[in-house]
Structure 1
Amino acid sequence: MSAMAMLRDATGAAHEAVDAAFGAHDLALPGAYQRFLLAHGRALPAAERVMAALPFARTLPTRAALLAADLADVGTAQPAPLPFAPGGDEATLWGVLYVVEGSRLGGAMLARQVPDALPGRYLGAVHAPGQWRAIRAALDEAAAGKDSDWTARMIAGALATFALYAEAAEVD
């Protein structure tokens, strides 16, 4: 089973819970969109900071600055990021990357709901052609031949990141 498939299977319920929490925002309404961006502002910068310890992650464009710019455009300062320290080992970091980069895919779908009058740099920051495929391949390569402890730490990193986003969605 590929690392992607393992992560999808092991984190499905956490992923659904986060999707439900953020899906409650009507992104066509300025106030709801602002709250959505604020919640992401509590999670994404912390996750990207942790993820940056993984050399592969440093090859990917970050989105925290785009999110801060969108927040500024809706008249809101970047909130303080929530504490996030899932661990710095390679396996955990790949789990964090899985969630952060997967959220970029979801963001592309959500961007369609945002009216043109509202800023859309953050949600519009999609993967370059072939980039998601390269991420999947790199993750599978990193996990190839690793033992169950490594896999468990990768899954724990992903679950911790979903928990970070879930907590960010609840803060108001």
Structure 2
Amino acid sequence: MTDGVSTVARLRSATAADHDAVDAKFGRYDLTDADDYRAFLIAHAKALPAVEAWLTAIPGLATVRSRGTELAADLAALGEDMPAPMAFDVPASPAAGWGAMYVVEGSRLGGVMLSRSVPEGMPSAYLGAKHLSGEWRALLTAIDGETADEAWVEQAIVGAKAAFDLYRRAPA
């Protein structure tokens, strides 16, 4: 930690505007409308697989429990194929990986809340793919447990901001 502030708190603070921008971009979708919901899932399908693939190539991170299968199944149920993922060209480092994982797993947490808006009869495996018991807290503890000198924290912020930016650019 730096100056007694946890790494997670620093990540949250440094990326708050990025998080808000992504929420604003995706908040325009009406998840009760089949066309909007389809577009919402397609946008996620452009971003999530790219970040997940990037994360799996970084040694030393927590295991990535992919939600790609659930996302593909929901899109297939709506008559859509998975789109090509966007490029996620961020210099790989463990710190940047933890930052990007913070965003991806935060998206999982938010997805569960959003799944409550999806009407009965519409596929919601992707948004409903919640964390295992204690998984989110374990991730935050792991991030805070990493060697968090200033350079490490800055790289974690770079990774988180890059992941947020990818999600922000994904909607058409």
Task: Judge same fold: TM > 0.5, yes or no.
Answer: yes
Letter in 2 for 1:69: A
Moved more, 48-57 or 7-16: 48-57
The answer on whether the counterparts of 2:115 and 2:128 sit within 8 Å (CA) in structure 1 is: yes
Match of 2:104 in 1: 100
Distance in 1 of aligned mates of 2:40 and 2:13: 26
Match of 2:89 in 1: 85
Match of 1:140 in 2: 144
Task: Determine helix, strand or coil for the equivalent of 2:170.
Answer: helix
Letter in 1 for 2:83: P
- Encode CA deviations 1:32-88: one digit per residue, 9 max, x unaligned: 000000000000000101111244655342101110111111001100000102121
Letter in 2 for 1:97: M
RMSD value, Cα: 1.2
| Aligned with residue 167 of structure 2, among 140, 154, 165 | 165
Match of 1:72 in 2: 76
Match of 1:156 in 2: 158
The within-5 A match list for 1:3-22 is 3-22=7-26
Match of 2:53 in 1: 49
Task: Determine helix, strand or coil for the equivalent of 2:89.
Answer: coil
Distance in 2 of aligned mates of 1:56 and 1:111: 31
Distance in 2 of aligned mates of 1:162 and 1:119: 25
Give the TM-score taking structure 2 as reference length.
0.94
Give the TM-score taking structure 1 as reference length.
0.94
Letter in 1 for 2:31: L
Aligned residues: 168
Distance in 2 of aligned mates of 1:160 and 1:118: 31
Runs of 4+ deviating beyond 6 Å: none
- Encode CA deviations 1:73-126: one digit per residue, 9 max, x unaligned: 100110000010212111111111000000001001100000111101000000
The answer on whether the counterparts of 2:55 and 2:64 sit within 8 Å (CA) in structure 1 is: no
Q: Please, which runs of 5 or more residues in structure 1 have no aligned partner?
A: none
Letter in 2 for 1:165: Y
Q: What percent identity do the matched residue pairs reach?
A: 48
**1:127 to 2:131 alignment:** yes
| Aligned with residue 35 of structure 2, among 31, 38, 42 | 31
TM superposition shift of 1:147: 2.0
